[in-house]
Amino acid sequence: MNRTLSNKQLTDDLVRPVFNTSVWFYAVVFAAGTVVACGAVAWGYQLWYGIGLSGKRWPTFWALYLTNFVFWIGISHAGTLISAILRLVNAGWRRPVTRCAEVITVFALMIGAMFPIIHLGRPWLAFWLFPYPSAREIWPNFRSPLAWDFFAINTYLTGSLLFLFLPMIPDFALIRDRATGWRRTFYGTLSFGWRGTTKQWNRLESAMQIMAVAILPVAVSVHTIVSFDFSMANVPMWHSTIFGPYFVAGAIFSGIAGLIIAMAALRKALHLEHYLLPLHFENLGKLLLLMAILWGYFVFNERLTVWYGNEPHEMAVFWATQRGAYAPLYWTMVICNFVLPLAILMNPYTRGIIGCVVASTGVVIGMWLERFLIIVPSLTHKQLPYSWGTYQPTPVELLIMAATFAAMILLYTLFAKFVPIIAIWEMKAGLPSRMDQSVLDEERLQSTRLGSEPLPDAIGQGGAQR
C-alpha cells in the first residue's frame, strides 16, 4: 500500500467512479451493448427457425455452445479461489482483489448458465429441469448429469451472488451518506439501513467466514459435475476418471487468467494504480504459473494413459488431436496453456503486469480451445467408423459466442460504475493504522523481499491524517 494512503483518500479514490462518469464508460457500454444486441437477435433467429441454424449435426450433437458453457463456468472459479481460499488463510493481499474476482464469478456463472438454455432443442420447456410437483407426478430424472448441473450451478450462483452482495452493503451505506438526489435513495435502499455497529460487523464477518467455507466444496463440485456431463458417457476419451480433478484445475486456471485481465483493465480504466499493485499481479502470476504446471501434469497423465493403453477407439481420437484434423488447434492450445505461461511467468523479470496479462490472454484462448478439443474430436470419432463426422461453426453460433464476451464486458463495466469495484471497508480494515503490529511486520517483510513499494512507517499515522 502506498505510503501516503490515508483513510479519506482511499474512500475518495474508490468511490469516485460511482459519482463521476467518463466518456469511455458510455463508449464501452455502447459498443458492448451493440454486440450483445446482435447476439440476442441471432438467438431470436435461432429460436424461430430451429437449432439447425447452428453447426451441429450427426454425430457432433454438442459443439460450440457446450464449449462456451464449460468455458464460462470455468472462468467463474476465479472468485472462489481468491475470495474464499485467501480469506480462509488470512492472506492480506486479497483485499483489493476480492470483489473484482467475485464479480467475475457471478457474471460468468450467469452467462455460462445461459448456454444450456441456448443449446436446447426446445428451450421453452427448460423449466422441466426444475423439480416442481407437476400434475402428472413426473419429476426430472435425477440420475442425469444434466439434472445435477441444474442443482450445482444454481447452488453456486445463489451462494456466489450472496457472497458478492453481502459485503457490498457497508459500501452502499458509505455511498448513501455521501450522495444526494436519486443516488441517495438508490443506495439507501440497497444498503438495507446498515449502520456499522460492532454487532453488525461481527455478524457480517461470521457469515462471510461460513460462506467461504461452504462455497469452496460447492465450487469444486460444480465443475466436477460439469465434467460428469462428459465422463458419464461411454464416448472414447470422455469416459475418463481424470475428468473431475482435471476440469476443476482447468477452471481455476482459466479463472485466475480472467481475473488478471480484468484487474489490469480496471487498473487502467479507473486509475487504481495505488490499489492494484504489481505485488498483486506478481502473486496471481505465481498462482497462474502453478496452475499451468498442474494443467500440464493432468494433460500428460491423461494422454500417456491413453497412448500406453492403445485401445483402438481411444487412439482414433488421440491421433485426431495430435496429428489429424485437430492438430493445429491442439498444439496452439499446448503453446497457449503451457509453453507461453511457463516462459513468461517463471522469470521474475517478465512477471510484471504486462507479462501476466499476455500470459493470461494466452491461457484464456488456450482453455477455450481445450474445452473445444475435449468435446468435438471425441464426438466426431466414436466407436463405429461409419459414424465419424466433422464440425463447422456457423455465423449464428459465432455471433452468440461473441455476444457473451461482450456481455461480460458490459456487465462488468456497469458494475464497476455503480458499485466500488474494490471493497472500501475491506481496504480500510487492512490499512496499517487499523492493524496489529505483528501483521504489519509480516507484510513489510513480504513486500520488501519482492521489491515492491514499502508500507507506511508507523501505526496510527493513517488515522491521524484527516
Partner 1 sequence: MKSIYGLYTDPHVAQRAVDNLRAAGVTDAAITVISSEPFDHFEFGHRDAKTAMPWIAAAAGLVGLVLTYYLLGASQRSWPLVTSGMPIVPNWTNLIIIFEMTMLSAILATVVTLLVTAGIPSRRGKMYDPEVSDGYILVGVENPSDASKLEPALAIEGARVKTTA
Partner 2 sequence: MAHRWGMAVDLDKCTGCEACVTACHAENNIPTVSAEQAARGRAMHWIRVERYFEGDFPDVRVKFRPVLCQQCDNAPCEAVCPTYASHHNEDGLNAQVYNRCIGTRYCANACPYNVRFFNFFNPEWPKPLHLQLNPDVSIREVGVMEKCTFCVQRIKAAKTTAKAENRALVDGALQPACAQSCPTTAIVFGDLNDPNSRVARLARSPRGWKLLEDLGAEPKITYLHKQPWYESDAQ
Q: Which amino acid is at 306?
A: V
Q: How far is the CB of 388 from partner 2 (least distance, A)?
A: 9
Q: How many CA atoms lie within 13 A of 356 on its CB side?
A: 27
Among partner 1, partner 2, none, what does residue 218 contact (CB within 5–8 Å per kind)?
partner 1
* Element containing residue 352 per DSSP (H, E): none
Q: How far is the CB of 139 from partner 1 (least distance, A)?
A: 4
* Ranges assigned E (strand) in 199-260: none
Look-up: residue for cell 490472454? 361
Contact with partner 1 (CB under 8 A) among 55, 116, 170, 355: 170
- Helix ranges (H only) for 335-455 are 340-345, 353-380, 395-418, 424-429, 437-450
User: Which sign, positive or negative, has the C-alpha torsion 88, 89, 92, 98?
Assistant: negative
Integer Cα distance of 39 and 37 in angstroms: 5
CB nearer to partner 1: pick between 24 and 130: 130
273 sits near partner 1 (criterion: CB under 8 A)? no
Burial environment of residue 174 by CB neighbours within 10 A (0 to 12, 13 to 18, 19 or more): buried
Residue list 173-232, contact with partner 1 (CB under 8 A): 173-174, 177-178, 192-207, 210-211, 214-215, 217-218, 221, 225
Q: Which amino acid is at 403?
A: A
Integer Cα distance of 199 and 228 in angstroms: 43
Among partner 2, partner 1, none, what does residue 463 contact (CB within 5–8 Å per kind)?
partner 1
CB nearer to partner 1: pick between 43 and 163: 163
Residue list 24-53, contact with partner 1 (CB under 8 A): none
CB nearer to partner 1: pick between 208 and 406: 208
Among partner 2, partner 1, none, what does residue 152 contact (CB within 5–8 Å per kind)?
partner 1
Q: Give the burial string for 211-229 (b: 16+ CB within 10 Å, else e).
A: bbeebbebbbbbbbbbbbb
Among partner 2, partner 1, none, what does residue 420 contact (CB within 5–8 Å per kind)?
none
Among partner 2, partner 1, none, what does residue 451 contact (CB within 5–8 Å per kind)?
none
Q: How far is CA 176 from the centre of its chain?
A: 29
Q: How far is the CB of 244 from partner 2 (least distance, A)?
A: 17
**How many Å from the N-terminal Cα to the C-terminal Cα in the chain?**
18
Total residues contacting partner 1 (rule CB under 8 A)? 64
Q: How far is the CB of 231 from partner 2 (least distance, A)?
A: 11
Q: How far is the CB of 203 from partner 1 (least distance, A)?
A: 4
Look-up: residue for cell 475491506? 426
CB nearer to partner 1: pick between 191 and 404: 191
Q: Do 248 and 295 touch, CB atoms closer than 8 A?
A: no
* Element containing residue 254 per DSSP (H, E): helix 243-269
Applying CB under 8 A, which part among 114-122, 259-267, 359-367, 456-464 lies near partner 1? 456-464
Q: How far is the CB of 188 from partner 1 (least distance, A)?
A: 10
466 sits near partner 1 (criterion: CB under 8 A)? yes
CB nearer to partner 2: pick between 28 and 63: 63
Q: Do 298 and 251 touch, CB atoms closer than 8 A?
A: no
Q: How far is the CB of 382 from partner 1 (least distance, A)?
A: 18
Integer Cα distance of 202 and 24 in angstroms: 39
415 sits near partner 1 (criterion: CB under 8 A)? no
Q: How far is CA 102 from the centre of its chain?
A: 8
CB nearer to partner 1: pick between 412 and 425: 425
Contacts to partner 2 by CB under 8 A = 49-52, 55-62, 116, 119-123, 125-126, 128-129, 138, 140-141, 143-147, 150, 229, 232-235, 379, 382-387, 389-390
Look-up: residue for cell 447452428? 54
Among partner 1, partner 2, none, what does residue 29 contact (CB within 5–8 Å per kind)?
none
Contact with partner 1 (CB under 8 A) among 2, 155, 301, 394: 155
Integer Cα distance of 44 and 267 in angstroms: 36
Integer Cα distance of 195 and 386 in angstroms: 69
Interface contacts to partner 1, rule CB under 8 A = 7-8, 11, 131, 136-139, 141-143, 147-148, 151-152, 154-155, 158-159, 162, 166, 169-170, 173-174, 177-178, 192-207, 210-211, 214-215, 217-218, 221, 225, 424-426, 428-429, 433-436, 460, 463-464, 466
